[in-house]
Structure 1
Amino acid sequence: MRDMRTLETFYWVATLGGFRAAAQHLNTTQPAISARIAQLEEELGVRLFDRQTKRITLTNRGAVLLSYSEKIFQIRTEMLQAVSDNGALLRGTFRLGVSETLVHTWLSPLLERIRALYPQISLDISVDTTVEIHKQLLSLDLDLGLVAAPLDHPDARSLKLCAYPFRLLVSPAFRAALPANATDRMLLTRYPIITYPKSALSTKNLIAVSQERLGLANLRIWGISPITTIIDMARTGLGIAALSPVSIPKILAAGELETLPSRLPLEDLSFYSTYLPGPNAFLKEAIRDLALEAAEAFSATTGHPD
């Protein structure tokens, strides 16, 4: 086997189920992928793929090679980590998917730690909903997700990082104008709820608890991204914001928004690291551990326990 690139090409064809998908993932051409696989099969003297179906599948020998490939990638990354100065030899692009709440809490300290420990690693960061990040993890367009729910996949490796309160928030003028006897049912019936998109887990939970406790079948949800837009709309009195106070400490400290008392049992926002194994599994685990450290440090300094 001439180089690791050929083995990586084999891994991505096997994992993505096709030459075209592997070519797109590796940013090369399909003929180049086909040539590398043909070279590998000739060198090993065996067929690695069954090409009789639309989605190519591994032969028995191919399945054995895939298993060893994963081990080789793991050992290679561990070796570079062990012999280099704090990961200085590790290179390439690491693709990270992040829920927006974490952008406003401990993402920056995490990025500082990654930069310090892995100076040759480039970061490609995608801020999106958990649903969209899950899709990108499954299509292998992301390496690691820091999101509000674990990835639903038998091979996924997930770890809970933290949990933060989820509250209803309004402007002081909005609250002052409310009747003294305002109830949850009246508020949620009369005013729109300005929050994360409807695909967000927290929004689904809010809708579910409103139906269960108040019998409200049709909450007026204004699903919006980013958080800054939610804040701006709530400050102008357009409705009731629903988000985690940990993401807007300066807004709360300035008195621009305040918590609206509610008897609804709103579920905390939990966040997880989640990823699928692959050639850079060791780096995924390392950055997962750094994320956990960043979450714990944030909780320790802000008084928000995990």
Structure 2
Amino acid sequence: MVKRLAIIISILALSVFLAACSGNSSELDTTSPGAFIGGMSGIEVSFEPMSIMEDGYYTIYDTEDFPLEFIVTNEGEHTVAAGEVRLELLGPAQEDFSNIPSWEKSNSETIEEISEFNPSGDEEVISFTPNDYATYNAVIVGYQDLTWYVDYEFDYKTYLIVNDVCFKGDSSDERVCTVSEGRTYSVSGAPITVTSVEQDSGGKGIMLLKIGISNVDTGESTIVGEEFDDRFSQVSYTLEDSLSWECKSGGREGEARMVDGTAEIICQLADALDEDALYTKSIALTLDYTYRDIVSETLRVKESAE
């Protein structure tokens, strides 16, 4: 991904140059669709069929067994390594079942990101019944609906490229670029996304970037290695540039808390530019987090005639 970012930054820089030369005066879209495919998903988990469908439910008799298998699909633009997707079965009492060796599993292979040649994303099937299918051992009278939940979490990253940041030591100089305006950017497909990038001045020769981020999927996030907090989602972040920047969100350096699903990261140059500095270049920022969500499915178990 690092090599890919470098290539993308070069392409974006060329795109900005060509756009400037074209003389097009139409309003500029602040997103650049060419760098990433984009999207609002990361890892998605779905149930494989447990049996035949009757009246909208997977249905078995109490004398039958059933599989518990899940398709784990990477619908975003970050490749996850083995062990970075973790699933936990919840819902029915464990003692009521046989042939489920473990109620917690993780991916055993690398699951590649979406790409031009694989737009649907890579996937892996994770089975909780790898040997024999599961059986339900409790007594059934008539029928019983069992609601299965799978709580899953995965380590993920969101990649942002801002491709026309203005570096200007003298803000009164009207040549080349304007300091205080929205910036064109491109963001990778992920459940935590970037919604805006604006540049401003933090003082003479001090460039300031305001980056809005948002949780656009149904789950929640936390910093990798930390517990989830019911009050807010959170991410860590790093800005990649040859110059030294100081980045904070809500007074916290290197991490952002999303209240009501949104937060703003403010980055400013640590040292003022020389007065004669005048150029534009691309800057990359990476959001790093563990994301958690849950899916459910109902299995109807009917009393057999035996």
Q: TM-score interval w.r.t. the shorter chain?
A: under 0.3
Q: Given the two structures, how large is their TM-score scaled by the length of structure 1?
A: 0.26
Q: Given the two structures, how large is their TM-score scaled by the length of structure 2?
A: 0.26
* Structure (1/2) with the larger strand percentage: 2
